[in-house]
Every structure is written in C-alpha cells, then in structure tokens.
Amino acid sequence: MKTRLNLGAYLDHHHMTAYRLVQQLKGRVAQNTVYNLARTPQQRIDLDTVGDVLSGLSELTGKTVGLVDLLEELPEPQPLEETKHTLEGTGTSELRSTLEQLEKDTPPNELDVWLGAFEQAHL
C-alpha cells in the first residue's frame, strides 16, 4: 500500500488556504514549497519542512496537528490483466473514466495523449 502526504486535502477539509499557511510560516518555509505541498500530494518529503508545516497548522488550528493527519493511503493498483478486459470495446468516455481512476497522479493533458493514441489505434 502506498502512502503520501496530502496537505491540500487537509487544508480543504479544515477550510484553510495555502496562502494562510504561507503567511503563518513566513520566514520558516518558502512560500513556493508550501504551495507545491498544497497543490501536489507528496511521496517524498523533507522532514524539517514537514515539521515546520505541522507547527504552522497547529498554530492556525489551535490543536496539535501530527504527521498522520496529513497522510493518505492510496488503493493498490489493479494488475493490467484484471483491467484489460474492461477496456476492450469501451468508448473514449468510458476509457477516460477508467484511466482517471487507475492513474490518479497522471496530469489530465497526459491522459488526453493516451486517449488520442487509443482513438488512432481503433480507427
């Protein structure tokens, strides 16, 4: 099972913005670092930075925020053999939906490239 740090989900759940956290952490963590952590879930993290982020969140919420509060578990990917039969005979919209579920970390524009190749192969 994969685990990643998802600051953005924590901020959304607690109705906070990355900007507010940036202001709280001024001088401790670079604003670009905070925005990147909030925008993109991370699998590799700098523990000093995360410690500062946790301190800032604790200060903002008035509650102790621990590392576990920012972690999310990702479902195990399905082996290709199990999904192959579900892709055969599907249209582009069904394929996009399946790809979005299987490739949660893939940017939408990359999915568009894959779908274009699929459509070309099936013309």
Report how many domains make up the chain. 2
Same domain, 14 and 62: yes
Q: CA 6, CA 37: separation in Å to the nearest integer?
A: 7
- Euclidean distance between CA atoms 13 and 10, whole angstroms: 5
Asked whether residue 65 falls in the same domain as residue 91, the answer is no
Give the domain extent around 104. Answer: 80-121
Q: How many Cβ atoms from other residues are within 10 Å of residue 65's Cβ?
A: 18
Parallel, antiparallel or unpaired: strands 71-74 and 2-5: antiparallel
**Which SS3 state, helix, strand or coil, does residue 23 take?**
helix
pLDDT in tens, 49-91: 999 999 999 999 999 999 999 998 877 776 666 555 555 556 6
Residue 29 per-residue DSSP state: S
Give dist(CA 42, CA 39) in Å, integer.
9
Q: In the structure, what pLDDT confidence band is assigned to residue 9 with cuts at 50, 70 and 90? A: very high
pLDDT at 22: 96
The predicted-structure confidence for 21-50, as pLDDT tens digits, reads as follows 999 999 999 999 999 999 998 888 899 999
Average confidence (pLDDT) over 9-28: 95
